[in-house]
Amino acid sequence: MQIAQLGRVDYAPTYAAMQAFTEQRDLEGQPPSEDQLWMCEHPPVYTQGLAGKPEHIFNPAHIPVVQTNRGGQVTYHGPGQVVGYPLLNLKRAGYFVKEYVYRLEEALIRTLLHFGVTGHRVAGAPGIYVRLDDPFGHTPLPNRPGKDAGGSRTMAPDFTGLGKIAALGIKVSRNCTYHGLALNVAMDLEPFARINPCGYAALQTVDLSTIGVAVGWQDAADILSHKLATYLAP
């Protein structure tokens, strides 16, 4: 996997470049293209996924809103957030979308662990979460979401006591991935208060800084890119 450090780049042209790369790669008669991982951060922007609903954005004010073709609902990108875009041929990698999502989350969990933070999955709500009262503790979460007394109905995700520290939103076209994931490092978190992050009302968003981890953007990007290259390998 070829890793490209893009620095701070505008969202819209980066999105367009991902689409163009994916549409043109591995066409019949062309040699196989190398998988890539783009690491960057964006100026302030809200992005809406295919399931996005306008009512989940309360007050964008001066922050632009970009409609995209990724999965999920609304999220915020801004300075101090590490964004990773894996451009991966899943057929060549040898695994399917569900495992791809699991591997993305595992790379995030291992990145957090490098900084002493315990990241958690919440079933039914892609992304990585931390305990607000003990982000460094290792106690696993109870089963979330649970089921009803009959054991047959899945309940809504339970975010009690949790803060979201990393988000996922992907697109797969012709077995090739784009869009990706975002890890909050040291951000102005106020813009998250103007939306329902990922469509969930009152979901608290945190970053490494607010839970007591002081790390520079580049250091976090280097660790995350290494973990992604490791856990996305065939």
> Which of the residues are catalytic?
198
Joined together, the tokens standing for residue 11 give: 């969202």
Q: What is the DSSP letter of 133?
A: S
Q: How far apart are CA 3 and CA 228, in angstroms?
A: 10
Residue type for 31, please?
Answer: P
H-type helices in the chain, by residue range? Answer: 11-24, 90-93, 97-114, 217-231
Query: What is the CA 117 to chain-centroid distance, rounded?
Result: 17
Residues found in the chain: 234
Do the Cβ atoms of 181 and 24 come closer than 8 Å?
A: no
Using an 8 Å Cβ cutoff, are 135 and 231 in contact?
A: no
d(CA 27, CA 154): 41
> Residue 175: how many CB atoms within 10 A of its CB?
14
Q: Are 96 and 78 in contact (CB under 8 A)?
A: no
> How does DSSP classify residue 62?
T
Distance CA 119, CA 110 (A): 8
